[in-house]
Amino acid sequence: MAGPSIVICSEREKLAGLGEDSFSYSFDCGDTGYISVFDGCGGMGAKKYPKVGNRSGARVASRLAAYVTDKLYEDKQFLFDGNDCQRLKERLTEEFAKIRNTIETENGLKLGGDLFKTMPTTASIAAVKNNGSSITCEFFWAGDSRGYFLDAEGLCQVTKDDIKTDEDAFTNLRSDGRMSNVIHAEGDFSLNTREIEISQPAMIITSTDGGFGYYGTPMDFEYIILSSLMESDSPEEWENKLSELIIPVTGDDFAVGIAVYGLDDIADCREHFKERCQFIKESYIDPVGENADEEQLLRLWQKYKPGYYRR
């Protein structure tokens, strides 16, 4: 047993040097590893800090959360003992408070209330333990960044968005529900967690909303992952092709991390998912074409939805 056969992370900044999404991953500790993405919340975290090059609190937050997650893994504290979420939350709370005290100035503008937070960021983190024929996956999240797995049955969303309304993945693409919870330096945030067992072969996926949130349906997100894979002869090419499909559509920074388990290499991965990719294309992509009708999209979503939420 070992780590994944393929790990990629497609990410881009909408404005070079000003991006507020971040990611980290590592699979250096035997049979365990993790992938993670973070989306600094530019609206509520727009305040800039001279002590860190006048960067926004949102940019600082996403990078700090990525660092803290990586350090926890490096310290071998993803133990899959039921306490990983608490350990991670404590470490995030401690480090965010420490950096806040370092970069805040006495005469700095203090903004209060729901609309403003100090160094706010979403998170989607997947810690993975390889068991041989299956993997144990702990998902941790805050905000509307998501964690998924993708197997021969298709894409499955494991996390549940922290938003103020109870909407599914289809309706939220149209309403962009306001977030009810993010990581931030005040410390009064929640870190959600779910542990599930997943049979191999499978992909584990984490994504900020810039990766999935600008398509017409959740089916489109599955299709771009698989279609970019079908056109690739190496992990590097897959990473680039996935970015090429997201960039023209998204109106945001994005980060999408993928770890593949139970398949030998990119050719084996292509072969395994070829049938699923063709099915998605013929069942959900081709019928719509360029003139998407909302009623038709909703019917297709209702057909796709049970598999998407099967876990």
Residue-wise pLDDT for 65-110, tens only, equals: 999 999 999 999 999 999 999 999 999 999 999 999 999 864 444 4
Q: Which of 27-41, 42-56, 60-74, 261-275 has the lowest mean pLDDT?
A: 42-56
Alpha-carbon distances of 186 from 22, 41, 101, 113, rounded to whole Å: 21, 15, 11, 12
Q: Given CA atoms 127, 209, 157, 279 in this order, what sign does their dihedral have?
A: negative
- Strand-strand pairing, 134-142 and 123-130: antiparallel
The helix (H) or strand (E) run that includes residue 298 is helix 294-308
178: number of Cβ within 10 Å = 12
Q: Please report where in the chains the tokens 């994944």 appear, as a residue.
A: 4
Q: Tell me the average pLDDT across 183-212.
A: 97
Q: Which of 7-21, 94-108, 166-180, 295-309 has the lowest mean pLDDT?
A: 94-108
Q: Which tops the pLDDT comparison, 28 or 145?
A: 145
pLDDT tens digits, residue range 129-175?
999 999 999 999 999 999 999 999 999 999 999 999 889 999 999 98
Q: Helix crossing, 266-280 with 218-230: angle to 10°? A: 140
Residue 1 lies in a domain: no
Number of domain units in the chain: 1
228: number of Cβ within 10 Å = 22
Residue 145 lies in a domain: yes
- Dihedrals φ, ψ of 214, to 5°? -115, 10
- Report how far residue 85's alpha carbon sits from residue 88's, in angstroms, rounded to the nearest whole number: 5
Residue 78 lies in a domain: yes
Q: State the residue range of the domain holding 149.
A: 6-308
What local confidence, expressed as pLDDT, does residue 177 receive? 78
CATH number at residue 85: 3.60.40.10
Residue 248 lies in a domain: yes
Q: What is the mean pLDDT of the chain?
A: 94
Q: Please tell me whether the peptide bond between 218 and the residue prior to it is cis, using omega within 30 degrees of 0.
A: no
